[in-house]
Amino acid sequence: MGVLSAQLLQPVDVVVDSREASSVQDIVEQLRAKGLRVAVAKLGAGDYYLLSAGEKPPVLVERKTVYDFANSIKDGRLWDQAKRLAQAAREDGARPVIVLEGWLGRLERTGWSMAAILRAIDELALEIGIPVVPSPDRYATAAWLAAKAKALGETEKKRVVRLRVDKKPLTLMERILYVAEGVVGPKLAARLLEHFGTLKAIANASVMELMRVEGIGEKRAREIYAIFNTKWRPPNSLQEEKSKSKK
């Protein structure tokens, strides 16, 4: 079974995993703004698949924030993900890469040993054969992805391929992080979970309690509070109310 759930109908520069695209839409938009042809589809390994025109091998990219990287070391996910990434890339003749997003120094504030983090990066590069590319933020990640994709040749000459490794279902911890990322994005999701412990605790937190988390000011705290405390209504009903108010 291939990584792509459906055959692409035309050559593209980048295939973005559907779950990745839903959590970082800004990266997808930046790639398109830079003139790249982007497709969103379910990938069986990695988050971004940069296709090649043939002169160079394609590139399979896994994007990780520094917090996700640390958490994946702690629960052992990193090594399973890395091996599947390397296997998928090897079977399709691609090069695997991990983009590590954010400042590693932040991890020391949460009790992590920098030596342990660097040892993990060392093992990825030297033992598993996956280089790790540092990126300060998502904007830099998008810029690197765009530059790399353009270096792989003209769009119309790029091959449409299927990788041959299936992505395993998300673990419970990954699903919890995925839900949190959908609310606040990947940068703040891990911080909120580390501070409150559960999604329920985040949902029950007051604005003042949310503001105690690093990186969350009053405006963002009120947005998060509103998400969990505003009664949901179908989009159609909101449109109808707007129409009535105009009459």
CATH of the domain at 95: 3.40.50.10130
In this structure, is residue 1 part of a structural domain? no
In this structure, is residue 122 part of a structural domain? yes
Backbone dihedral region of 231: left (phi > 0), alpha (psi from -120 to 50 degrees) or beta?
beta
Q: Last residue of a domain, which of 134, 157, 180?
A: 157
Mark whether 150 and 200 lie in a shared domain. no
Mark whether 124 and 236 lie in a shared domain. no
In this structure, is residue 179 part of a structural domain? yes
Mark whether 61 and 121 lie in a shared domain. yes
For residue 90, what pLDDT is reported?
Answer: 84
Q: What is the DSSP letter of 76?
A: S
**Total domains, the chain:** 2
Q: How confident is the model at residue 3 (pLDDT cuts 50, 70, 90)?
A: very low
- Give the pLDDT confidence of 120-160 residue by residue, as tens digits: 999 999 988 999 999 999 999 999 999 999 999 988 887 65
In this structure, is residue 7 part of a structural domain? no
Does an H or E element contain 105, and which?
helix 105-108
Q: What's the pTM?
A: 0.63
Q: Which domain, by its residues, includes 209?
A: 172-246
